[in-house]
Every structure is written in structure tokens, then in C-alpha cells.
Chain A
Amino acid sequence: MMLARERGSFVLVVNTHDFVHGRRSVPFRELLEHTLGPMGFSSRPIGRFGTVSVVIFERTSEPSGPGGP
């Protein structure tokens, strides 16, 4: 969170498959969208490489709501 505020963007590289849950959607993406959305962050999927998904979070708008600065 602090890194996001300082850098303005970050990349989520996550394996979407494990032997306990099997294949699943991109973990943490929804949580980060809900958490960082009010801060003006939005996610953009870069691609899927096997079971590894890459999503980039960037600040695209001014922060609003209680999560703002």
C-alpha cells in the first residue's frame, strides 16, 4: 500500500494454480482493486503465461473517498 502510494504503480505477478485449490482466478486482484480503487488505482491485465497471470495496477484518476490522501 505504501509502495503504491509512493511509486504510483506496481505489478502483480501471481501463480493462479496450486495443488490445493487447483486453478483459480487471479488471487489478490479483487482485494487490491477494492482497496486501492478509492485511491485512484485501476488494474489492467497484461497476460496469462501458463498459470502465471500478470496484472498491472496504475493510478489513473485522482483519489476519492475515505481512502484518499
Chain B
Amino acid sequence: MIFEIERAALALACREIDRWIVDAGGGMSEPVDATPDLPSKGTILVVDDESEIGPLAQDILVPDGYTVLSSTDPLEAIRMLDARTWVPDLLLADLVMPVRGGPSWPGDLWNFSPRRRSCSCQAMKSRGSRRQAGRFLTSPSLSPLSLGWSRKCSACGPSHPRSPARAYSLSDRLQGIRVNQAERAVLAVLALFAESSTALAAFVGILGMFRLHVLDARQCDAESEVRFWLKRLMKRESFVASFADVQVWLLEEQSGVAGPPHREFLTGALSANHRRDSGTTPGVAATGVDVCRERRVIPRLGRHTIRCRAAGDRRRRRPARGAPASPLSACAGATGTPVVRAAMPAIMVVAAARWMSPTVFVYRYFLCLAPAIAVIMAWTIRGVRSSRIRLVLVTIVAGLSVLGMGVGVERMEDWRMALHAAADATNGKPVPVLVGATFIESARLRWPLDPEEAGYLVAPVAFYRVPGPAIPLPYDLGDEGAGYLRQSR
């Protein structure tokens, strides 16, 4: 009991002292405003015992509009969180610290945040063995923070190579997302016009397929990483990810394109944190850089495949079978069975073609629905993670689009030029013209034999200069057609 009282008094005293220290500005670096005129996009607290990390984060993130606080002492960070009334939007904390550290350290830091419910915590493992650090720095999934980090650390020693970030650099992702947004709008507009043009429908299909193949490779990876990270967060499991998660988080805020479904995911993750905070264990997402451990964890994540982030390693991890379904599994792109969903339109087309005459189906319905089918195929193929399967499907759909365009051009009936040519061939002499319009009504001989209704069957030539009298022909030469010819004879 005495111990408890002493502990409470000591905590109260420490709190007062800390508040005084904070008010005096000692021990902590002051927040650096991004731009005095513009409001900050968010506050990021960086806790790392390496003194260069905090200023480095400020150099990188402040120009982007973030307010960055940094501390090299974990206890100071705890006191600052406990005393301050503001809440950082993101915590970046080193996992290995001289006083505090370890897997539970981010949770402790989180607990001391007075308004932690609206705060996200990311822990990073910037130290450790030199081999691990080198592996992290050579990771292709480098964030702007880690890119700058890499540049900074490369001056520390020759063992830290320059970033090979080509496939997953920030610019690629940002460009991919922005282009994706713009192209969605373009495709939506084109789809409206494509309803009246087979050629334009084919163009829309080709454009959609091109977009899928070229751009969605990056976009899909970025979205899957966001979902991967948030899924782990919502499952309340300590997980190991990479700095790319932080990058995506920051990217969403920087680019201003965090619309649905990203915003929904983020909101859901924060809501999950709220529920978690009611218990004893805070919901903390710990981010590490150990690629080997990451590989061990990832196969247990369910229906996810993720590109291993080690430099030069392009192998994909196949997910474990029997993984529990997630609420996020309905989201296209990262989960589900996209190949099956991509095959569904083709299955429906084949079924419809078998239900009726294939020729009638193709020319009466399929070509008319080409824009809608192209959009459906684009949406479904988009969820296919394998680039090879995506390429095959894109090639098939693009081929069908070109074929449809060719068929559409071939279906033109140029009666005017045909009659011009006929008149030229007869040199103006009045010769009879047998007209085979292939109207479906001509299949019944009642029409060509009826003088009044026969006029309908020669309607295509009614408004052009015909060398002589126009005589309708039956649809084909079946039994009735032969009888018609005998009768006309």
C-alpha cells in the first residue's frame, strides 16, 4: 500500500516536472512547422536514438507539409506524450533503443499517449545488425523517408549501398495512382460515347486493357500493401512489414487521393484501434525490416501473396490454404479469387451463345454489348495479381475488340455505291436489277410475291438511281426459294 502511494506520488511529481520541462522547451526538439501559411497535414513523432534520424525525417517530411517532432530518448517521448495535449498522427519509433525497446516498447509508447485513439503508431527497426540494416536499405520498397535515410546513411560507410528503388519507388506509385484516377475518368467518358460506335468500343477495350496491364501492376501492389497492413492491424496481431507501409500511409495523405476504398480502410483500422484501446493491450502495428522474419510471417496471412522485398528477389509466396476469410476479401485487387471472377463474363458469354444461335448472339447482342463487356472484363481482370495471366487475358480481350471492330467495318452495306457501279456497268441501259437485301422477312415467300410488300424488300435501293426495275429476291434458296424461282419463271 505504501509502495502504491509512493508510486502514485512519484508519478505525479514526474508529471509536473515533465510538464515544466516541456513548457520550458528542454529536451525535446520543437515542432517544425511545414509552412507557416498553410495548415499542417499531420504531426509525426519520430523516436530514435540515432540523432540524425529526427532531423532527417524533418528534412524529408516538412517540405511535404508535415509537422515533425523528434526525440532520441524514449522516456522523453513517453513524457511528452503524457504531458502534451496534442496527439501525433503518426508515431515512428525505433524498436531497439538503449533504455526501452523490444517488441512491447511501441505498445508502451502508445499507452502513454493521452489521446491515442486517434493516433497511429509505427515502430521501425533502424538498428540491429549491420547485415539487417544493409538489407533494409537495399530494399526496393523504400519510402521517401527511407530513401532519404539511405542517402544519409550511405555517407556513414561503404556497406550501405544506394537505393535500388526502381520498381516500387514513391514516384512510381504516386504516378500510378494519379494516372489511374485520371484514366478512370477518361474511360468513363469514352464508355458513354462507345455505346454508338463499335470501333470506339474496341478502342475503349484496348485502352482499358492497356491501362490494366501497364499501370495496374504498380497500383495493385500498392493497394494490396495497404490492405495487407491494415488487415494485420485490424486483426490485432503483431506483424512485420516494411517501411513501404508507412510510405503508403504517407502517400495517401500527400497525394490527396485517399478516397474510397482507402479512406474506408483507414477509418476501419482506426475504429479497430478504438476497440482495442478499451482493453489492456493496445493495438500497435510494429514495423520491422527483417526480411527473413517477414517471409515466415507472410505465408500465415491468409489469401495474400506478396512480393518479397529483398533486393533482386522476385519470388512470390503462395498463401497457406484454409486461411480464414476476411471482411476485406470482398475488395478486388488483393484478395478473393480474381481468376474465377475474371472468367465469369466469358462463362456467361459461352452460356448465352449456347442458349441461342451463336451467330445471332454475336451479331445481335454481343457487338452491341461490347462496351459493357469491355468494362466488365477490365474490372475483373484488374483483380488478377499475376501479371502473366493478366497479359494473357488482356491479349484475348484486345483481340476480341479488334475482331469486333473488323466485323463492324465489314458489316457496312454501301448500297449507294453498289448501284452507282451497276449503273456504270450497264452504260445507262434499262436492265432489271435483282435485289437481295437479305431481310428476314424475305424468308417467307409471301413478302416477295406480294407486290405491295415486295416494295419493302427493295427498300435499300428505293432512294438511289436504279438502272431498271428492282426485283426482290428471297432470303435463300431453300425449298421455298426454288419454288419461288419456278413460279417466277
A23-59 near B? 1/0 per residue, CB < 8 Å: 1000110010000000000001011011111101000
For B477, what are the chain A residues with a Cβ–Cβ distance below 8 Å? 27-28, 31
For A53, what are the chain B residues with a Cβ–Cβ distance below 8 Å? 418
A22 interfacial by beta-carbon distance below 8 Å = yes
In chain B, positions 271-330 with a C-beta closer than 8 Å to chain A are none
Interface of B is mostly: mixed
For A51, what are the chain B residues with a Cβ–Cβ distance below 8 Å? 410-413
B37 interfacial by beta-carbon distance below 8 Å = no
Q: What is the bound-complex CA distance between A12 and B485, given in angstroms?
A: 15
Q: How far is the CB of A4 from chain B (nearest CB, A)?
A: 8
Is the pair A54, B425 in contact by a Cβ cutoff of 8 Å? yes
Q: How large is the interface on A (under 10, 10 to 19, 20 to 34, 35 or more residues)?
A: 20 to 34
B431 interfacial by beta-carbon distance below 8 Å = yes
Q: How large is the interface on B (under 10, 10 to 19, 20 to 34, 35 or more residues)?
A: 35 or more
For B489, what are the chain A residues with a Cβ–Cβ distance below 8 Å? 1-2
B421 interfacial by beta-carbon distance below 8 Å = yes
A54: contacting residue among B359, B421, B437, CB under 8 A: B421
Q: What is the bound-complex CA distance between A24 and B421, given in angstroms?
A: 21
B339 interfacial by beta-carbon distance below 8 Å = no
For B412, what are the chain A residues with a Cβ–Cβ distance below 8 Å? 50-51
B414: contacting residue among A3, A7, A49, CB under 8 A: A49
B436 interfacial by beta-carbon distance below 8 Å = yes
For A7, what are the chain B residues with a Cβ–Cβ distance below 8 Å? 430-432, 468
Is the pair B414, A13 in contact by a Cβ cutoff of 8 Å? no
Is the pair B434, A13 in contact by a Cβ cutoff of 8 Å? yes
* Given A27-B476, A46-B422: A10 touches B434 (CB 8 Å cut-off): yes
Is the pair A11, B488 in contact by a Cβ cutoff of 8 Å? no
* Given A14-B434, A15-B413: A46 touches B425 (CB 8 Å cut-off): yes
Is the pair B431, A11 in contact by a Cβ cutoff of 8 Å? yes
Chain B residues proximal to chain A, CB less than 8 Å: 357, 359-360, 363-364, 410-415, 417-419, 421-422, 425-426, 429-438, 440, 460-461, 467-468, 471, 473, 475-477, 485, 488-489
Q: A49-B421, A50-B412 are in contact. List 11 more A-B contacts (CB 8 A).
A: A1-B485, A10-B468, A11-B434, A13-B422, A22-B363, A28-B436, A44-B425, A52-B413, A53-B418, A54-B421, A56-B431
For A13, what are the chain B residues with a Cβ–Cβ distance below 8 Å? 415, 418-419, 422, 433-436, 461
Is the pair A9, B413 in contact by a Cβ cutoff of 8 Å? no
* Interface core residue of B357, B360, B413 (most chain A CB under 10 Å): B413
For A49, what are the chain B residues with a Cβ–Cβ distance below 8 Å? 414-415, 417-418, 421
Is the pair B413, A50 in contact by a Cβ cutoff of 8 Å? yes
Is the pair A15, B432 in contact by a Cβ cutoff of 8 Å? no
Could you pull out 11 A-B pairs where Cβ atoms are within 8 angstroms?
Answer: A1-B485, A3-B471, A11-B468, A12-B433, A13-B422, A14-B438, A17-B413, A19-B359, A27-B436, A28-B473, A56-B422
A17: contacting residue among B411, B419, B431, CB under 8 A: B411
Q: What is the bound-complex CA distance between A57 and B442, given in angstroms?
A: 23
* Given A11-B422, A21-B359: A50 touches B414 (CB 8 Å cut-off): yes
